[in-house]
């Protein structure tokens, strides 16, 4: 029997944990559209893109958590 999967699917790149959009959505309880809107407004950390135009995108966990901490101190996101 295999071990249960972790709550977040963390991928490491140069020892920096990365989150997929599903992980960011789960952490904040928001929609994908909310994340893309915040990213477009230059308010939210930019995604890291791997590959071509339809490639997977990831966020550095520490950047996302730093953003969240700044917004908790300054008001709701």
Q: Print the domain residue range for 59.
A: 11-74
Domain-embedded: residue 3: no
Q: What is the CATH number of the domain that holds 38?
A: 1.10.1660.10
Question: Which pLDDT belongs to residue 29?
Answer: 93
Domain-embedded: residue 6: no
Helices assigned H by DSSP within 1-77:
21-28, 32-40, 61-74
Q: SS3 letters for 19-35?
A: ECHHHHHHHHCCCHHHH
List of residues 6+ apart from 7 with CB closer than 8 A? 26
Overall number of domains in the chain? 1
Distance CA 40, CA 4 (A): 35
pLDDT at 1 exceeding the cut of 60: no
Question: Which pLDDT belongs to residue 4?
Answer: 57
Question: Which pLDDT belongs to residue 37?
Answer: 93
Domain-embedded: residue 33: yes
Domain-embedded: residue 49: yes
Tokens coding 66: 């730093």
pLDDT digits (tens, 9 = 90+) for 12-70: 555 568 999 999 999 999 999 999 999 998 789 999 988 777 788 899 999 999 999 98
Domain-embedded: residue 1: no
Domain-embedded: residue 48: yes
């Amino acid at each position: 029997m295999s071990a249960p999967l972790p709550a977040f699917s963390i991928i490491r790149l140069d020892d920096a944990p990365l989150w997929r959009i599903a992980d960011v959505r789960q952490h904040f309880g928001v929609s994908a559209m909310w994340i893309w809107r915040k990213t477009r407004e230059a308010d939210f950390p930019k995604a890291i893109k791997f590959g071509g135009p339809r490639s997977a995108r990831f966020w550095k966990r520490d950047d996302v958590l730093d953003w969240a901490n700044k917004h908790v101190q300054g008001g709701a996101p």
